[in-house]
Amino acid sequence: MGRKILQDVANTLPQMFVGWRMAEDLKILAELPDGTLEIDVLTETVRHISGSTPRLHVAGELAAWLGNRLDEARLSITELTKAHLEVVIRTERLATARKRLISFDFACTCTVIGYDRTYVGNLVETHTWIKLQPRKRTR
């Protein structure tokens, strides 16, 4: 039973990252150069290939979900040696007015190691983020 659960975890974490309602996180990601983002779900740490360590809300959400999912399945998180999400981010594929619209291409690979096995999940998806502009006041 644990094997199916951990494969489900490896498949679900990338879906959560891409599908997360993370407007503030997208704002942070838009400031970073294209490249690879690494999230250690066990420690809730995030590192970008540029050397920066952005604080993303989604990292805590992924960790909370993982803990809850394992609890429900009666699996111990201490048996996991790795729960790692690697996201390659590209924003230049579509030419846009970056002040208003950014198209993110996400290529996610999740690796979960536990119970003497390795589980891998992948997801490639595009997400468009519209920056909300402050409204001009009219009298």
Question: What does the pLDDT look like over 69-81, one tens digit per residue?
Answer: 999 999 999 999 9
Please state the domain count of the chain. Answer: 1
What angle, 0 to 180 degrees and rounded to 10, lies between the N-to-C axes of helices 57-72 and 23-31? 130
Predicted confidence (pLDDT) at residue 92 exceeds the cutoff of 80: no
116 part of a folded domain: yes
71 part of a folded domain: yes
DSSP E strands in the chain: the ranges are 35-40, 45-48, 80-90, 101-114, 117-130
**Interval 21-37 mean pLDDT:** 86
- The confidence score (pLDDT) of residue 31 equals 86
DSSP alpha helix (H) spans, 20-138: 23-31, 57-72
38 within 8 A of 85, measured Cβ to Cβ: yes
The C-alpha angle 48, 60, 47, rounded to 5 degrees, equals: 10
Rounded to an integer, what distance in angstroms lies between the CA atom of residue 58 and that of residue 79? 23
Predicted confidence (pLDDT) at residue 14 exceeds the cutoff of 90: yes
User: Both tokens of residue 139?
Assistant: 């009298």
138 part of a folded domain: no
139 part of a folded domain: no
Domain that holds residue 125: 2-130
Cα dihedral value 33, 38, 29, 103, nearest 10:
80
**Interval 105-113 mean pLDDT:** 96
One-letter amino acid of 120:
V
Contacts of 119 (CB under 8 A, 6+ apart): 3, 6, 7, 9, 10, 111, 112, 113
Maximum C-alpha span of the chain: 67
State what percent of residues in the chain have pLDDT above 70: 83
117 part of a folded domain: yes
136 part of a folded domain: no
